[in-house]
Amino acid sequence: MQQIPVLLTPIDRPAALGIARSLGPRGIAVHGIDTDPLAYGAASKYIKPYILPDSEDIEARKLEYLLQLGRKLGQAVLYPLSDDDVLLCSRERATLEKYFLFVMPDHSTVQSLLTKDGLTRAAETHGVPVPKMYTVTSQAELADLADHLPYPVIIKPVVSTMWLRYEIIEMLRDDPLSSPPKVALCQNAEQLIQTYLHLAPYDARIIIQEVIPGEDNRLVYLCFYLDRNSRPLALFAGRKMRILPTGFGSASYVRSMHHAEMEKIALHLLQNVNYQGLGGMEFKEDPRDGKLKLIEVNVRFGMWDSLGVRCGVDIPYISYCDALEQPADPQSDNHGEYLRDYRRDYRDNIAWFDLQRDIRAFLIYRKKKMITLKEWLNSYKGEKEWAVYARGDWKPALYEGLKLMQRPYHSIRDRLPFFRKRNTAASESAIQRD
């Protein structure tokens, strides 16, 4: 089989390790870009790292470097692994396609599914249930709406990078052990208006969304890869057992599962928008009506998607082969048969853990009397996949430990005016681009 290199950006995340640990042992050269010298992907024996100097205009610097690497490599399969890099690579796709093969949908699809209002429109058009959602751009609009909302509600930023500001993180974080908040929970109109008044100086635009009730383990997720004709070459499902921040965060503990209803709903939407490439869809099981409600779509390889590899669905390799227009299974040239085999054979109830995040999640769940120490320890029994550690590739875990030791330093640094100013400039730049 023909082989060309792979380029990952960024590499300071479990997704980068998952792809590298799938492709690297097959002899496929894996390159990675990051701005952090301690990005734990840089320590993987399967990744050749390129560390960019940080800069205020990191997007322009990264694009320049992508093109330089493209010319150097000749041709490579490109895997953007953050929403920021997805948007950058999508906007510049016409230029980057001179050197890179893409495993993501076209720019119009990316734009429509990554924006909350675009996703809502697409879902409603094709009959997929979603939480009620409203977008406001001013205090006057909010005042007209606030008394008529189905409380509780959550607020989200229109531009996700907006809430990476130190001021907003500290304003909204409800526990020092938690990760930066993705949303703010408001129980009534008064709390909503007060929260908005605090946030409006940074960006007057917010998204207000209905809260789907139920425990965190009602969150289910489908990982997938669809070919150029929107045919599924890989499907894999998991249930989020614990998340951080609790209630509205990212996974710290997941278990593999089959979920035929979620597959059906997801494929109905994806095929109607002519989706091609990697992605994931998150739903929440609504106890009020028993329906799955679509929460979000990711147009990239996700945090814990490597669990699929352990369970029998090697999405990195499948996507790589399809990008090269070669069958993923050297024994067969029939993608449909290949998919059915993998859907039948992948294993349920295999766990994925991000240990450092799950320790913090456990402490918060226990504080809220949602779990005991015994229950937490018992959840680690059985076969498992670690987010960062792997027996034959253990150095990334060492780098992760070093980064955790740096956390107090970064907390102090973020309080300094110079770094807060740079953070602000980056956020404002993101707002203007949006």
- The 8-class DSSP code of residue 29 comes to -
Q: Which two tokens stand for residue 62?
A: 């990264």
The answer to the question of residue 320 being in a domain is yes
39 exposed, middle or buried (CB, 10 Å; 0-12, 13-18, 19+)?
buried
Residue 293 and residue 192 share a domain: no
Which single residue is written with the structure tokens 């799955």? 292
**pLDDT tens, residue by residue, 10-65:** 999 999 999 999 999 999 999 999 998 889 999 999 999 999 887 777 888 899 99
**pLDDT tens, residue by residue, 371-418:** 999 999 999 999 999 999 999 999 999 988 887 776 554 554 455 554
Sheet of strand 6-9: strand arrangement:
47-51, 30-34, 6-9, 76-80, 100-102
Residue 227 and residue 343 share a domain: yes
DSSP string, 173-241: -S-TTSPPPS-EEESSHHHHHHHHHHHTTT-S-EEEEEPPPS-GGGEEEEEEEE-TTS-EEEEEEEEEE
The CATH code of the domain that includes 29 is: 3.40.50.20
Quote the longest CA-to-CA distance of the chain: 63
The answer to the question of residue 419 being in a domain is no
The CATH code of the domain that includes 192 is: 3.30.1490.20
The CATH code of the domain that includes 311 is: 3.30.470.20
Q: Tell me what percent of the residues of the chain surpass a pLDDT of 90.
A: 63
- Name the residue type at position 80: P
User: Which pLDDT value is given to residue 56?
Assistant: 72
**pLDDT tens, residue by residue, 330-344:** 434 344 444 444 455
The secondary structure of the chain in percent helix, strand, coil, rounded to multiples of 5, reads 45, 20, 35
Q: Give the residue among 252, 379, 256, 240 at the shortest CA–CA distance from 315.
A: 256
- The 8-class DSSP code of residue 386 comes to E
- Domain that residue 301 falls in: 214-367
